[in-house]
Amino acid sequence: MIELRTPTEIDEMRPAGAFVASVLQATAAAAKVGVNLLALDKLAHDMIRRAGAESCYIDYHPSFGASPFGKVLCTSVNDAVLHGLPRDYVLRDGDLLSLDFAASVDGWVTDSAISVVVGTPRDEDLRLIDTTTRALDAGIAAAQPGGRLGDISAAIAAVALADGLSINTDFGGHGVGRTMHGDPHIPNNGRAGRGLPLKPGLVIAIEPWFLHTTDKIFTDPDGWTLRSADGSRGAHMEHTVAITEAGPVVLTARS
Q: Would residue 2 count as lying in a domain?
A: no
Query: Looking at residue 213, what is its pLDDT?
Result: 98
- Residue 211 included in any domain: yes
**Is 3 labelled a binding residue?**
no
Domain range holding 64? 7-250
Residue 1 lies in a domain: no
pTM of this structure: 0.97
How many whole angstroms separate alpha carbon 48 and alpha carbon 52? 6
What CATH code is carried by the domain that includes residue 125?
3.90.230.10
Domain count, the chain: 1
Query: CA geometry: angle at 100 spanning 99 and 103, to 5°?
Result: 135
Ligand-binding annotation for 185, yes or no, is: no
Judge whether 58 lies within some domain. yes
Residue 72 lies in a domain: yes
Q: Is the peptide bond before 200 cis (omega within 30 degrees of 0)?
A: no
Of 55-64, 99-108, 119-128, least confident by mean pLDDT is: 55-64
Residues 181-218: pLDDT tens digits?
A: 999 999 999 999 999 999 999 999 999 999 999 999 99
Q: According to the annotation, is 174 in a ligand binding site? A: yes
207 is annotated as contributing to ligand binding: yes
Q: Is 181 assigned to a binding site?
A: yes
Report d(CA 117, CA 93) in Å as an integer: 9
- Tell me, yes or no, whether 152 lies in a domain: yes
Is 212 annotated as ligand-binding? no
- Compute the distance between CA of residue 15 and CA of residue 235 in angstroms, rounded to an integer: 26
